[in-house]
Copies of this chain bind each other. A is one copy, B any other.
């Protein structure tokens, strides 16, 4: 590519699947992307653009004229088009929307009128909806006449005269049923309907739970306005589930294609918050300054208590956050789970206490061994409780437990670790206050 051999590059990229072409664009360095895109202009299909990583797509779109972006948008499914547009600046977005055909314009504007990450924003507006009086034969004839091979669909939604969904037919049921049978006799009446305002996380859970391939999206008055299909939901599931690890660590979006400035600003916020909690822990240590001066072994051992407590808290917190995200931890079983985690924590605490107690007893003194062992049990038990109770509390306050739990749990485990250890050492008469 750098040698200017555009024909050679073209021949290499040509046989690739659009998703692979998109991957290639993401993998190469930023400076090469525009050149590669120029070399393979007619391979830069809407499918490739739809498959690109958000950040990479945004960068590439910013370099194109609004009219060119509009041409690409025109050929995409409405849901992909909306995804492309929603990331752009207000001004760029409006310039592109102005260039669109009236029909696409209306669809895009309607989608953008719903909040981000809701079904109304994410749904596909192409739905196969048919009236309820049809027979299987009528439907097949209708589909053959329409001959819309462009949009994939996996089920046919049966609607009444006012466009309310009354049932749904999987395509395999239609194919295995004689022509004369009425659709209302094959269709399933009991379908999962998604209101336009449903959050994407909720949509993903519905698809997982009921093993859906597609589902009807209905507006406030219950009319069919679009559908969500599993291939889009798969991305949401992967995003939502993977997000927790990133949120828990305070890494924000956590995408390696995110511009450095954004990565910096999302991460530094948590480091500053962490600085605040670390200061609390330091204050506790300062309070016991005289004890440490007298017995430097305390300074040597205290990071162990905090570190293990932090780890135990993180374990429980990861379990609790995941259980909340998958709707497994609810009001109905909170106390059972808290009790379960406390028992696990006590077992862990006892094990670690024995190990560290013996080691510290041999290296320092039996009293020191006893103090650190007891501090360890206390700290791991507190960490276990904090690991469940903090995420549960955030959830009940309507906050995402993955976002802020870490800072609080760390603060609790660090401060309690130092306090338990240094406090017990003073109480045991090992050091003065």
Contact = CB atoms under 8 A, between A and B. Distances in A.
Interface in A240-259: 241-242, 244-246, 248-251, 254-257
Given A251-B316, A281-B304, 19 more contacts: A140-B140, A149-B176, A154-B172, A174-B175, A212-B231, A248-B249, A249-B315, A251-B314, A264-B348, A267-B348, A270-B311, A272-B352, A279-B304, A282-B300, A285-B300, A285-B303, A292-B299, A299-B302, A303-B418
Residue of A263, A333, A356 most packed against chain B (CB within 10 A):
A263
Nearest to A298: B299
B260 A177 contact: no
Nearest to A149: B176
Interface residues of A, number: 122
A340 B263 CA distance: 10
Contact of A275 (B26, B234, B330, B355): B355
B355 A260 contact: no
A242 B299 contact: no
A146 B282 contact: no
Given A175-B143, A256-B329, A303-B278, A351 B311 contact: no
A386 to B, nearest CB: 14
B208 A235 contact: yes
Interface string A352-376: 1001100100000000000000000
A245 B402 CA distance: 10
A176 B307 CA distance: 63
Contacts of A244: 242, 245
Instruction: Say how many copies of this protein the assembly contains.
Output: 2
A125 B399 CA distance: 44
A414 to B, nearest CB: 7
Contact of A245 (B140, B299, B321): B321
Contacts of A254: 318-319, 322
A410 interface: yes
Nearest to A178: B144
A106 interface: no
A171 B312 CA distance: 51
Interface in A203-247: 207-213, 230-231, 233-235, 237-238, 241-242, 244-246
A340 B122 CA distance: 32
Contacts of A272: 351-352, 355
A43 to B, nearest CB: 16
